[in-house]
């Protein structure tokens, strides 16, 4: 219980104080990093308690469950919380190293961490909504980070589309409260069986739309490339590696736990939408020449796999979906951060992330793909789809890698051709950070 409370209250309080300070100062940035580290630490302690035993359940104010708000940290939630915290931490370290440009950045990231942690450890529907809004609002402000035209335009699209999504979510929350009379998730799950099919399916559709918008699944994805390419790399990493997890988590939590019957009913539709996402994202990513744009489309394709796995369902399908989400979030964080850098280390890291996206071992992405293959082994069509998707991701990942990094190497070689003794790599690696800072030749 203490770890659970600490993981919430530490970033929450610290974020507010940080928001008052000038975040451009290095010290403030590092304090934010420490707070995020503390958050991660508390979550690790929590995970250590949750994973072997039962979930940690606390109801606020000593009231009976349902009257008070139930906070429930189970394996699924803690896993997602850890993952998001890690993504935020790495993005912040990256940005602090590069030099923070706006006063409010560190405070907002830390508050975003508080909101995300809350989303993943709450066991109450409306509490989920408010934490969700906290994380999203911090995200809206962060999307403007940098303050240039591109960032503002991207932030506008991000904010408006996602606001629409959250209001649709709120409408569904109201409906669920009306038909079940409770807000506590386990209570809802128990009472949902008695609700007749029509209302339940309509509410489920509302939740699905809301989370699909967050995830950027195929028909709902149009905001995503604009935003991910328009935002600064650290922010893109935060949005895709941290905030987007809400979508996958929501589909798993709401589909798997609250509305399992509706999920079964919609399995076919989920698989179709997921497949469309895989193909669409993969095909569009192929001809993109800038790394961030490729990554944006790749993100659309990658969440398609998650959706297909959820649609396949069953323990194996769910495990595959979870695993794939974890791997995908890590990949995206890594790639968005390294895509703007140059040099051997950045290149190698990017290659590693790209391998992971393509599902090549020992990169983690392979494990995710393997699970997917296991989950869908029964259906040749899906396996063929996955093979095709993998091939596409292989093509686009390496095309971008070649364009961005090998070209960089060659360019470095040409410019230092007269003195062959001085290795081009040492040159580029020494200018690695300097180059990353100036947004590299874009």
Partner 1 sequence: MLALAQDELKQILAHSTISQYGYVVTLYGIGGATAAGAATLYVLAHAIAKSALFMTAGAVTVATGESKLSRLGGLRRRMPALAVASGVAAATLAALPLTLGFSKDELFFAAATEHGRAVQLLAVGAAALTVAYIGRFWLGLFTGPLQTQPSAPVPPLLLAPIVVLGALAVVGGIVVEPFARLAEDAAAATYAGPLEVAPAYHAELGSENRMALAAWALGALILVVPRVRAPLVGAFARAGERAGPRRWYALSLLWLNRVSDWAHDREVRDLRNSIAAVLVPAAVLIAIALAVTPTRGSYEVGPVALGDLPIIVLLGLGALAAVTAARDRGRLQPVLALSVLGFALAGVYAMVGAPDVALVAVLVETVLAYVFVGVFARLPPATVRRPRRRARNAVIGAAAGASAFAAIWGALSRPTATTGVAAEHIERAPEAHGGDVVTVILADFRGLDTMVEVTVLAVAVVGVASLLSRGRAW
Partner 2 sequence: MSLLFALAAAVLFGTGAYLLLDRDLVRVVFGVVLVSQAAVLTLVASGLTRGAAPIYPLSRGPVSDPLSQAMALTAIVIGLAVTALLLVLVLRVVQAYRSEELAEVAVREAEREARLERLHEREHAEEEAAAR
Partner 3 sequence: MSVILEVVCPRLLGPAAMVAAAIIVKGYSDVGDGFSAGVVVALAVALRYVTLGAERAERSLPVLRHAPVLAVAGLLLVLAIGFFPVAFGEPPLTHFPRAGEPVVEIGALELTTAVALDVGIFLLVAGALVETIHQIARLVEERRA
Look up residue 349 and give its two tokens.
């890291």
Element housing 385 (H / E): helix 380-401
Contact mark string toward partner 3, 5..44, x via CB under 8 A = x--xx--xx--xx-xx------------------------
Report CA dihedral (251, 253, 254, 256) to the nearest 10 degrees: 90
Question: Stretches 7-15, 157-165, 244-252, 300-308: which one binds partner 2 (CB under 8 A)?
Answer: 157-165
Among residues 37, 41, 66, 68, which is the contact residue for partner 3, using CB under 8 A? Answer: 68
Binding status of residue 105 toward partner 3 by CB under 8 A = no
CA dist., res. 264 & res. 17, Å (int): 46
Q: Point out which span in 106-114, 149-157, 317-325, 341-349 binds partner 2 (CB under 8 A).
A: 149-157
Residue in 18, 71, 183, 266 binding partner 2, rule: CB under 8 A = 183
- Span between the terminal Cα atoms of the chain, in Å: 48
State the DSSP string of 179-221. Answer: HHS--BHHHHHHHHTTS-HHHHHHHHHHHHHHHHHHHT-GGG-
CA distance 250 to 256: 9
60 counts as binding partner 3 under rule CB under 8 A = yes
Decide if 320 contacts 375 (C-beta within 8 A).
yes
Output 62 or 419, the one with its CB closest to partner 3.
Answer: 62
Identify the residue among 7, 39, 59, 292 touching partner 3 (CB under 8 A).
Answer: 59
Contact call for residue 58 and partner 3 (CB under 8 A): yes
Contact between residue 343 and residue 440 where contact means Cβ atoms under 8 Å apart: no
Select the span of 35-43, 235-243, 334-342, 386-394 touching partner 1 (CB under 8 A). Answer: 386-394
Q: Strand runs (DSSP E) across 360-424, as ranges? A: none
- Among partner 2, partner 3, partner 1, none, the one that 59 touches (CB under a kind-dependent 5 to 8 A) is partner 3
The token pair that represents 395 in the structure block: 């093509």
> What is the size of the binding site for partner 1 (CB under 8 A)?
140
The one of partner 2, partner 1, partner 3, none whose footprint includes residue 17, by CB under 5 to 8 A per kind, is: partner 3
Shorter beta-carbon distance to partner 1: residue 94 or 386: 386
What is 268-329 written as a DSSP string? HHHHHHHHHHHHHHHHHHHT--SHHHHHHHHHHHHHHHHHHHHHH-HHHHHHHHHHHHHHHH
73, β-bridge pairs = 56
Subset of 245-264 contacting partner 1 (CB under 8 A): 252-253, 256-257
- Using the minimum distance from each CB to partner 2, give the nearer residue, 9 or 174: 174
Of the candidates 16, 152, 197, 384, which one interacts with partner 2 according to CB under 8 A? 152
**Which region among 32-40, 85-93, 159-167, 233-241 touches partner 1 (by CB under 8 A)?**
159-167
Structure tokens at 378: 């029964």
Q: Is the CB of 52 or the CB of 64 nearer to partner 3?
A: 64
Distance in Å, CB of 163 to partner 2, minimum: 6
> Which part of the chain contacts partner 1 (CB under 8 A), choosing from 29-37, 89-97, 216-224, 331-339?
216-224
For residue 230, cis peptide bond before it (omega within 30 degrees of 0): no
Alpha carbon dihedral 103, 104, 107, 111, in 10-degree steps, equals -170
- The Cα–Cα gap between 380 and 252 comes to 25
Residue range at the interface with partner 1 (CB under 8 A); choices 30-38, 85-93, 239-247, 311-319: 311-319
Binds partner 3 (CB under 8 A): choice among 52, 61, 64, 418 = 61
The structure tokens listed for 384 are 């063929």
In our burial notation (b when 16+ CB lie closer than 10 A, e otherwise), range 111-127 reads bbbbbbbbbbbbbbbbb
Least distance to partner 3, CB of residue 361, Å: 43
Residue in 33, 62, 123, 195 binding partner 3, rule: CB under 8 A: 62
Alpha-carbon distance of 385 to 109, in angstroms, equals 37
Q: Considering CB distances under 5 to 8 angstroms, the limit depending on partner class, which of partner 1, partner 2, partner 3, none binds residue 149? A: partner 2
Residue keyed to tokens 């409370």: 5
Q: Whose CA is closest to 15, among 113, 155, 123?
A: 113
Q: Buried b / exposed e across 350-369, counting CB within 10 Å, b at 16+?
A: bbbbbbbbbbbeebbbbbbb
Out of 95, 98, 184, 404, the residue judged to bind partner 1 by CB under 8 A: 184
Question: What are the residues binding partner 2 (CB under 8 A)?
Answer: 126, 130, 133, 137, 140-141, 144, 148-150, 152-153, 155-156, 159-160, 163-164, 167, 170-171, 173-175, 177-178, 183, 226, 289-290, 403, 407, 410-411, 414, 442
Question: What are the residues binding partner 3 (CB under 8 A)?
Answer: 1-2, 5, 8-9, 12-13, 16-17, 19-20, 58-62, 68-69, 71
């Amino acid at each position: 219980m203490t770890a659970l409370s600490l993981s919430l209250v530490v970033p929450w309080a610290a974020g507010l104080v940080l928001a008052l300070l000038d975040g451009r100062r290095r010290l403030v940035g590092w304090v934010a990093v420490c707070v995020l580290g503390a958050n991660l630490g508390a979550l690790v302690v929590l995970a250590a308690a949750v994973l072997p035993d039962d979930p940690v359940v606390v109801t606020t104010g000593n009231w009976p469950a349902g009257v008070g708000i139930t906070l429930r940290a189970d394996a699924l939630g803690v896993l997602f919380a850890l993952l998001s915290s890690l993504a935020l931490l790495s993005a912040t370290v990256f940005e602090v190293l590069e030099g923070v440009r706006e006063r409010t950045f560190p405070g907002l990231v830390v508050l975003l961490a508080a909101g995300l942690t809350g989303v993943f450890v709450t066991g109450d529907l409306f509490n989920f909504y408010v934490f969700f809004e906290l994380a999203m609002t911090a995200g809206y402000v962060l999307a403007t980070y940098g303050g240039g035209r591109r960032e503002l335009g991207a932030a506008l699209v991000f904010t408006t589309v996602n606001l629409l999504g959250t209001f649709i979510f709120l409408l569904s929350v109201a409906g669920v409260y009306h038909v079940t009379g409770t807000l506590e998730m386990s209570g809802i799950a128990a009472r949902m069986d008695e609700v007749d099919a029509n209302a339940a399916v309509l509410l489920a559709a509302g939740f699905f739309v809301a989370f699909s918008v967050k995830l950027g699944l195929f028909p709902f994805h149009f905001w995503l490339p604009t935003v991910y390419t328009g935002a600064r790399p650290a922010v893109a990493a935060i949005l895709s590696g941290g905030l987007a997890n809400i979508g996958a988590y929501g589909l798993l939590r709401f589909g798997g736990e609250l509305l399992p019957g509706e999920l079964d009913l919609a399995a076919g539709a989920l698989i179709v939408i997921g497949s469309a996402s895989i193909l669409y994202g993969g095909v569009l990513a192929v001809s993109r020449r800038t790394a961030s744009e490729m990554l944006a489309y790749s993100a659309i394709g990658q969440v398609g796999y998650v959706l297909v796995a959820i649609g396949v369902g069953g323990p194996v399908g769910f495990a595959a979906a979870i695993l794939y989400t974890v791997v995908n979030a890590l990949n995206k964080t890594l790639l968005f951060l390294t895509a703007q850098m140059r040099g051997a280390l950045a290149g190698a890291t990017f290659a590693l992330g790209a391998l992971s996206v393509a599902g090549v071992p020992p990169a983690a992405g392979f494990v995710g793909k393997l699970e997917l293959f296991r989950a869908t082994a029964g259906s040749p069509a899906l396996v063929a789809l996955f093979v095709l998707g993998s091939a596409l991701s292989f093509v686009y990942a390496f095309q971008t890698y070649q364009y961005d990094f090998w070209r960089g190497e060659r360019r470095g070689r040409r410019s230092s051709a007269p003195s062959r003794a001085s290795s081009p790599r040492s040159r580029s690696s020494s200018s690695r950070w300097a180059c990353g800072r100036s947004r590299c030749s874009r």
